[in-house]
Amino acid sequence: MSGAATTASVPDSDTLSSRGELRQLVAATLMPGFVGTELPDWLAARLRAGLGGVCVFGPNIVSRSQLRALTDAVRAANPRAVIAIDEEGGDVTRLYYDQGSPYPGPAVLGRLDDLQLTERVGRTVAEELAAVGCTLNFAPDADVNSNPDNPVIGVRSFGTDPVAVARHIGAWVTGHEGAGIAVSAKHFPGHGDTAQDSHLALPVIDADLETLRSRELVPFRAAIEAGARTIMTSHILIPQVDAEFPATHSRIILQGLLREELGFDGLIVSDALDMKGASGIHGIPEAAVRALDAGCDLLCIGTENTDAELGEIEDRVLAAIASGRLSIERVLEAALRVRELGEETNAVLAALDAGSNGASASTRADDDAPASEFAEPVFDTAQVQRAFDVSPHARAWLDAGIAPSAVVRIDTVANIAVGVAPWGPFAELARHPFPTDSAWSAPHALAEGSAALPEVPGPVIVVGKDIHRYAFARDAIDELRANGGAVLVVDLGWPSDDRAYADIATFGASRLLGRSVLALLEGQPA
């Protein structure tokens, strides 16, 4: 930490409880989500009382001017509040939650291996966030996706090679932090080697410390060296490092590995405590106590929190302090880090606004435009296509210029991090429809438990995400192939190593990648 003025403005730990300021310091460590597109009265009151910040999600956004008005309202209630968002520049998007992201996504950037492009994406994302008043981005994803069956990381990762991932993490952080908006590299110490989603369970990684050092920790070192101001924890259990506590609750991992071994002195953010990996057994209030005690400074609570829930968390933390389970000094340290980051990032935002000729960010960004009409960055589809993995079968299909007589859309349950944002070709077609006589204009939908596909004449294009992970999807493709018709499978997720269900693998499902797939299938250059 730095800034003597900040430290001097807070009483020492011996006087906190008697002066009634301890609850305010506890509040400074909390970051809830909320329901609605305007700042709720209860949340404004908590911000005025010292709440550390808020996290904005897709359903909170309808336009840029509305989002800037919302973030301005947060700052009016608490000028040093941290305002966070998940904008990873790919499948995970909040600014473009209604339409799909115009960015290539981390896995594509890793495959292109153009560090200047990666830095440009990081910088451009930060510039967009500055325009709408967000000061902290829960990105980039620094996980090494070593397990192709990973249900929650996949294309959010820059790849499988730790050194290559580290190069791109360094470039992305450099671009983003250089534009003034703080990053939060995640999910420490690494969520890539899991086959479970920590939103739904507590994943276990069977790796020893040397494996972590040579694989998982490499990109986090790069993030720290590039100037990442915050690091986000993961709700994963690594028994060979800490057999009792998941990373978010582990002093061994947060103090031993992150603080002492990697030398990180910035702010540690917990992943959302409403996730089952953090609170499935003990509940959110107890998860908050354990996260603070382990070394987390800012606690991301969840997506749709309430005033009563925040009160319960504060009460549990205060009770833990009173009983001696949690030290006042630890809470004071966490609160000071959050306040310092809030003051620093909001000062940067004010300077950026002042440098825009007096125009507010909302005025510069299409005041009354819905989110689907955002002025957005432009990327070259031909460049993006170079990241695709195109099989010989797919190449022959493309060379022959085959037009499908049917398109089958495979719908699977999206992981919670991605949510229900439009994806792939269907996101692009929602904005720029094909003629009604095209097979793309009326795709057949297939989901788990739905009725069997009708008799579909060939040639057929099948489109889905992570297709190899779903038995119903594999079975449907096998049946289509067995019927003897021409079948082309397009996987917009992370495919299996054998590519058995990915004739074209895009390594991402953003709207940009959907546009690039359609261009490729329409005969534009790969």
Query: Is 494:159 a contact under the CB 8 Å cutoff?
Result: no
* DSSP assignments along 77-117, one per residue: H-TT-EEEE---SSSS-STTTTT--SS--HHHHHHHT-HHH
- Token pair in block for residue 15: 């006087």
CB-neighbour burial class of residue 15 (10 A; exposed 0-12, middle 13-18, buried 19+): exposed
* DSSP assignments along 333-360, one per residue: HHHHHHHHHHHHHHHHHHHHHHTTTT--
Query: Is 447:473 a contact under the CB 8 Å cutoff?
Result: no
Question: Do you know the residue count of the chain?
Answer: 526
Taking CA 384 as the corner, what is the angle to CA 132 and CA 149, rounded to the nearest 5 degrees?
90
d(CA 483, CA 476): 11
Active site residue 168: no
Phi, psi of 397 (to 5 degrees): -60, -50
- Token pair in block for residue 424: 């792939």
d(CA 71, CA 81): 10
- Token pair in block for residue 43: 């949340």
Give the other-Cβ count within 10 Å of 299's Cβ.
Answer: 29
User: Which one of the listed residues 187, 191, 199, 235 is annotated catalytic?
Assistant: 199
d(CA 364, CA 261): 44
Give the other-Cβ count within 10 Å of 47's Cβ.
Answer: 23
Strand order in the sheet with 30-31: 30-31, 298-300, 267-270, 230-233, 182-188, 136-137, 82-85, 53-56
Residues sharing a CB contact under 8 Å with residue 180, sequence separation 6 or more, in sequence order: 126, 130, 345, 348, 349, 351, 352
d(CA 417, CA 1): 31
Taking CA 311 as the corner, what is the angle to CA 305 and CA 314, rounded to the nearest 5 degrees?
110
User: Which one of the listed residues 141, 193, 271, 274 is annotated catalytic?
Assistant: 271
Among 427, 510, 495, smallest CA distance to 147 is for 495
Active site residue 271: yes
So which residues are the catalytic ones?
199, 271
